[in-house]
């Protein structure tokens, strides 16, 4: 590119030595520190998501201080600033008259926002003195009301975050999340793996070039679009077939999430299947096995670790999927094994309730706590997929 | 050559073993069926959304404001909000993503622990649920950075410590960072070693080589990454649920500290919390159609550019 290059006829040992150049040094340092940023982001995500849930862990005297902070923090709270955005969310489940939704309400009309405030804070204000009042006798002896009380409700099944006596039972949400995940994986797993097997083992090169991009195009469908499709079309369609009661349920959510998980599982399994050394298939074919026998009994078992990784990442995707869960699962934390009942998942709970909470409130902390659980879970899944599976693959193919 | 041989052999063997042929056909048929189901479902979704959305889909729909309590009118503010979001997001994410990719391909040595950690973080970023980014945006950008800026420069007046475009875009840029890094890295790898070595042999330094030889050759890769990131960012809703998206705004956002409307959020709100879901159904389908056309066409462009890069590499 540079037409001029230094012409130096007298090379000495000195001139050939690698020189220190400030610009080079700076460039390298800047580039590696930017690269460091992605590591930093992971840590920051963990720290800041976890930090907001810290009040839950402040047992003892801190718990009392927390309730005081809660009181003073109200004016600069997160919820107060977005009252106009908040309103439709908090009242969304109830039929709202058109008058309430008028654009003027969302402008900077001071009267309407003033009107709103007592409503949004109503239960919070009513709740704070209530809890402190009822807890004081206990607090004298134990002095660890807030945090302990919240923790004890975690292992119950009731999720009633906004009431005079809030209960944060995570069991119901956990069961809901698992139910949707199992349904989605039961559909997505076999479909995606079989499709990957066809693409890598049976399809002609031409067909492969067409099939692969089309299935990967499914990954370009935004999850809100899939959720919308499930809500508007799938829900009605399946209800007319099976005739169950609640239109939105775990099954619909699972089917929709399967659509989101298929491209991930497909792509990674296909890569894993294609990465199986040719010698494996050639040996099998040379021994007289047919093409399908080779595919099912040689290629597929050899690629198991990779397919396992694909399934793990699929689970991660479904577990944390928010928009589809919000739109298609019905969002009622019911405790039943019936797949045609409404469920509420962890991610959907965060998505639908975060905007209603007040900064520093227990509910707010609990939602962040659920968030850190989700983060840890997806981090662990990725780590397992990465290290365990990679190690296995290397062992398998190189015989080390 | 190998492939042809195997296929010939295989045909020879399978014609000999007629007994297992039916079984074989069944198994191959099952895998074919799986491919067929996936592709059919994809086109059914596409077909239904196009069919239901086409009635309302028009230039007027795209270029007008929602009216009458969002039960009529168009989606202009949501479209513009989405555009601003992806532009600010790209400004933040593309340089960082490109530089990280340059580090990984040009500077990182084969068995560097640091590079392995960077790679692992990038892959983790790609699998973290999008709602977690939303929580992070709320906890870090709004409550920590925004509120900090407000107390330091605005004398405690609330301006940045609340959901707005800037924080939503930055949150989204974290989500799309891995997309850009992976695309650029792939493009950088296709640049032949000889080019780099020729440049170094002519006396250029490493940084000069990167600037003059490697980067110009990877422009298409950076473009692919940006397009894919934009397509992803335009469709994601969870990260902006509580970092800046608004239900309805009568005016377009005037500054980065304003809230904004967003296509995906608009679909979500209209289909779940609208006062009259039945009546606004055509609007919802048309909005979905717009969003889907946007993301799919962007992806198509990216796929075309990418296949060109791959052809060059061969």
For residue A116, pLDDT over 50 is answered with no
Q: Does B247 contact A106 at a Cβ distance shorter than 8 Å?
A: yes
Beta bridge partners of A160: A167
Query: What HEC string does A246-296 produce?
Result: CCCCHHHHHHHHHHHHHHHHHHHHHHHHHCCCHHHHHHHHHCCCCHHHHHH
CA–CA separation, B301 and B294 (whole Å)? 11
- Give how far A137 is from chain B: nearest CA, Å: 35
Using an 8 Å CB-CB cutoff, list chain B residues near A198: 28, 31-32, 34-35
Looking at residue A167, what DSSP letter applies? E
Query: Is the CB of B87 inside 8 Å of chain A's CB atoms?
Result: no
Give A121 or B147, the one with higher predicted confidence. Answer: B147
Residue A113: the pLDDT is: 36
First to last CA, chain B: 18
Residue A144: the pLDDT is: 43
B83 burial type by CB count under 10 A (0-12 exposed, 13-18 middle, 19+ buried): middle
pLDDT in tens, chain B (314 residues): 455 555 555 555 554 454 557 888 888 888 889 999 999 999 999 999 999 888 888 887 877 787 776 677 778 888 888 999 999 999 999 999 999 998 988 888 778 888 888 988 998 898 899 899 998 988 888 888 888 888 888 776 777 778 888 899 999 999 999 999 998 988 888 888 888 889 888 888 888 888 888 888 888 888 888 999 999 999 889 898 888 887 777 777 777 778 888 888 988 888 887 777 777 888 888 889 999 999 999 988 888 888 887 777 66
Q: Scanning every residue of chain A, which has its alpha carbon at the shortest distance from the alpha carbon of B115? A: A35
Using an 8 Å CB-CB cutoff, list chain B residues near A92: 272-273
C-beta pairs of A150-153 under 8 Å, 24+ apart in sequence:
A150/A56, A150/A362, A150/A366, A151/A56
Residue B36: the pLDDT is: 92
Query: Is the CB of B48 inside 8 Å of chain A's CB atoms?
Result: yes
For residue A347, pLDDT over 70 is answered with yes
What are A304-334's pLDDT values in tens digits? 888 888 899 899 889 888 889 888 887 777 7
Residue A58: the pLDDT is: 67
CA–CA separation, B150 and B157 (whole Å)? 6
Residue B3: the pLDDT is: 53
For residue A19, give the 3-state DSSP assignment.
coil
Q: Does B139 contact A49 at a Cβ distance shorter than 8 Å?
A: yes
What are A256-295's pLDDT values in tens digits? 999 999 999 999 899 888 888 888 888 988 998 888 888 8
Average pLDDT, chain A: 73
Pairing type for strands A167-168 and B66-67 reads unpaired
- Quote the distance between the C-alpha of residue B22 and its chain's center: 44
Residue A187: the pLDDT is: 92
Q: Does B259 contact A85 at a Cβ distance shorter than 8 Å?
A: yes
Q: Which of residues 170-189 of B touch A (CB under 8 A)?
A: 174, 177, 181
Residue A14: the pLDDT is: 65
CATH topology of domain A172-398: MetI-like fold (1.10.3720)
Residue A257: the pLDDT is: 92
For residue A3, pLDDT over 70 is answered with no
pLDDT band, residue A67 (cuts 50/70/90): very low
Q: Does A220 contact B127 at a Cβ distance shorter than 8 Å?
A: no
Cβ pairs bridging A and B (under 8 Å): 342
What are A202-250's pLDDT values in tens digits? 888 888 888 888 888 888 899 999 999 988 888 888 888 887 777 788 8
Using an 8 Å CB-CB cutoff, list chain A residues near B201: none
Shortest CA distance to A201 belongs to which of A314, A293, A308, A312?
Answer: A293
What are A157-174's pLDDT values in tens digits? 677 777 667 777 788 888
CA–CA separation, B94 and B89 (whole Å)? 8
- Give how far A185 is from chain B: nearest CA, Å: 14
Residue B39: the pLDDT is: 92
Query: Is the CB of B304 inside 8 Å of chain A's CB atoms?
Result: no
Q: Scanning every residue of chain A, which has its alpha carbon at the shortest distance from the alpha carbon of B7? A: A291
CA–CA separation, A188 and A320 (whole Å)? 16
Residue A57: the pLDDT is: 74
Mutate to test the interface with B, among A322, A344, A346, A360 (most CBs of B within 10 A): A322
Q: Scanning every residue of chain B, which has its alpha carbon at the shortest distance from the alpha carbon of A347? A: B131
Q: Cβ contacts of residue B233 below 8 Å, gap of 6+?
A: B85, B86, B89, B90, B172, B173, B175, B176
- Give how far B132 is from chain A: nearest CA, Å: 6
First to last CA, chain A: 45
**Domains of chain B with CATH codes:** 59-313 (1.10.3720.10)
- Quote the distance between the C-alpha of residue A245 and its chain's center: 29
Q: Give the alpha-carbon dihedral of A122, A124, A127, A133, to 10 degrees.
A: -110
Q: Does B48 contact A233 at a Cβ distance shorter than 8 Å?
A: yes
Q: Does B212 contact A2 at a Cβ distance shorter than 8 Å?
A: yes
Beta bridge partners of B73: B66
Give A18 or A114, the one with higher predicted confidence. Answer: A18
Identify which of B177, B203, B269 has the shortest CB distance to residue A38. B177
Mutate to test the interface with B, among A277, A290, A348 (most CBs of B within 10 A): A290
Residue A147: the pLDDT is: 57
Residue A6: the pLDDT is: 58
pLDDT band, residue A51 (cuts 50/70/90): confident
pLDDT band, residue A195 (cuts 50/70/90): very high
Residue A126: the pLDDT is: 36
Residue B90: the pLDDT is: 92
Query: Is the CB of B128 inside 8 Å of chain A's CB atoms?
Result: yes
Q: Which of residues 213-272 of B touch A (CB under 8 A)?
A: 213, 231, 234-238, 241-242, 245-250, 259, 264-265, 267-269, 271-272
Shortest CA distance to A195 belongs to which of A289, A254, A262, A255?
Answer: A262
Using an 8 Å CB-CB cutoff, list chain B residues near A224: 235, 237, 264-265, 267-268, 291
Residue A10: the pLDDT is: 63
For residue A189, pLDDT over 80 is answered with yes
- Quote the distance between the C-alpha of residue A237 and its chain's center: 27
Beta bridge partners of B260: B245
Which ipTM value was assigned to this complex? 0.87
CA–CA separation, A59 and A142 (whole Å)? 10
A199 within 8 A of A270, measured Cβ to Cβ: yes
Identify which of A34, A45, A292 has the shortest CB distance to residue B103. A34
What does the domain layout of chain A look like in residue ranges?
58-154, 172-398
Total-model pTM? 0.79
pLDDT band, residue A16 (cuts 50/70/90): low
Residue A54: the pLDDT is: 79
- Give how far B196 is from chain A: nearest CA, Å: 11
């Amino acid at each position: 590119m540079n037409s001029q290059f230094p012409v130096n006829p007298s090379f000495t040992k000195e001139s050939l030595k690698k020189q220190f150049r400030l610009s080079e040094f700076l460039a390298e340092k800047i580039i590696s520190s930017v690269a460091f940023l992605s590591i930093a982001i992971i840590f920051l995500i963990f720290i800041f998501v976890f930090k907001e849930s810290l009040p839950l862990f402040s047992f003892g005297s801190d718990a009392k201080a927390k309730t005081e902070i809660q009181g003073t923090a109200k004016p600069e709270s997160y919820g107060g600033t977005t009252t106009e955005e908040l309103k439709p969310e908090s009242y969304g489940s109830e039929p709202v008259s058109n008058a309430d939704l008028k654009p003027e309400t969302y402008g900077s009309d001071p009267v309407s926002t003033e009107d709103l405030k007592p409503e949004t804070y109503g239960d919070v204000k009513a709740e704070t003195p209530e809890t402190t009042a009822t807890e004081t006798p206990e607090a004298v002896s134990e002095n660890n009301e807030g945090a302990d009380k919240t923790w004890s409700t975690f292992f119950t099944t009731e999720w009633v975050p906004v009431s005079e006596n809030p209960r944060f039972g995570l069991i119901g949400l956990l069961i809901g999340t698992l139910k949707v995940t199992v349904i989605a994986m039961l559909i997505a797993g076999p479909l995606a793996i079989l499709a990957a097997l066809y693409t890598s083992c049976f399809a002609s090169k031409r067909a492969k070039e067409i099939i692969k991009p089309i299935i990967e195009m499914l990954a370009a469908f935004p999850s809100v679009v899939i959720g919308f499709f499930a809500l508007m079309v799938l829900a009605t369609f399946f209800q007319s077939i099976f005739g169950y009661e609640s239109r939105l349920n775990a099954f619909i959510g699972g089917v929709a999430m399967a659509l989101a998980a298929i491209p991930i599982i497909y792509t990674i399994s296909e890569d894993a299947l294609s990465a199986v050394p040719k010698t494996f298939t050639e040996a099998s074919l040379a021994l007289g096995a047919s093409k399908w026998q080779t595919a099912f009994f040689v290629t597929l078992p050899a690629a198991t670790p990779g397919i396992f990784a694909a399934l793990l990442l699929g689970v991660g995707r479904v577990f944390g999927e928010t928009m589809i869960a919000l739109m298609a699962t019905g969002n009622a934390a019911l405790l039943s094994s019936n797949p045609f009942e409404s469920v509420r998942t962890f991610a959907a709970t965060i998505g639908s309730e975060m905007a209603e909470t007040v900064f520093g409130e227990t509910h707010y902390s609990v939602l962040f706590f659920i968030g850190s659980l989700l983060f840890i879970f997806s981090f662990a899944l990725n780590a397992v997929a990465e290290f365990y599976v990679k190690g296995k693959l290397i062992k398998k193919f190189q015989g080390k | 050559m190998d492939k042809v041989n195997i296929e010939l052999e295989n045909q020879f063997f399978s014609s000999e073993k007629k007994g297992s042929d039916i079984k074989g056909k069944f198994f191959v048929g099952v895998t074919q069926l799986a491919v067929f189901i996936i592709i059919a479902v994809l086109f059914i979704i596409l077909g239904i959304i196009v069919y239901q959305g086409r009635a309302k889909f028009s230039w007027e729909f795209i270029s007008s404001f929602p009216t009458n309590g969002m039960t009529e009118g168009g989606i202009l503010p949501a479209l513009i909000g989405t555009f601003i979001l992806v532009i600010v997001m790209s400004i933040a994410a593309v340089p960082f993503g490109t530089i990280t990719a340059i580090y990984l391909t040009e500077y990182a040595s084969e068995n560097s622990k640091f590079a392995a950690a960077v790679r692992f973080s990038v892959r983790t970023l790609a699998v973290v649920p999008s709602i977690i980014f939303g929580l992070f945006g709320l906890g870090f950008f709004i409550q920590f950075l925004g509120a900090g800026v407000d107390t330091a420069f605005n004398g405690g007046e609330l301006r940045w410590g609340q959901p707005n475009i800037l924080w939503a875009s930055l949150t989204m840029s974290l989500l799309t960072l891995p997309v850009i890094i992976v695309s650029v890295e792939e493009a950088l790898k296709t640049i032949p070693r000889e080019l780099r070595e020729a440049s170094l042999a002519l006396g250029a330094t490493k940084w000069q080589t990167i600037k003059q030889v490697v980067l110009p050759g990877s422009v298409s890769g950076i473009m692919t990454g940006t397009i894919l990131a934009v397509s992803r960012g335009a469709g994601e809703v969870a990260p902006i649920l509580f970092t800046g998206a608004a239900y309805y705004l009568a005016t377009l956002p005037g500054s980065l500290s304003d809230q904004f409307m967003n296509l995906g959020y608009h679909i979500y709100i209209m289909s779940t919390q609208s006062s009259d879901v039945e009546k606004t159904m055509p609007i919802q389908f048309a909005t979905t159609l717009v969003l889907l056309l946007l993301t799919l066409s962007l992806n198509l462009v990216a796929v075309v550019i990418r296949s060109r890069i791959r052809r060059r590499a061969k």
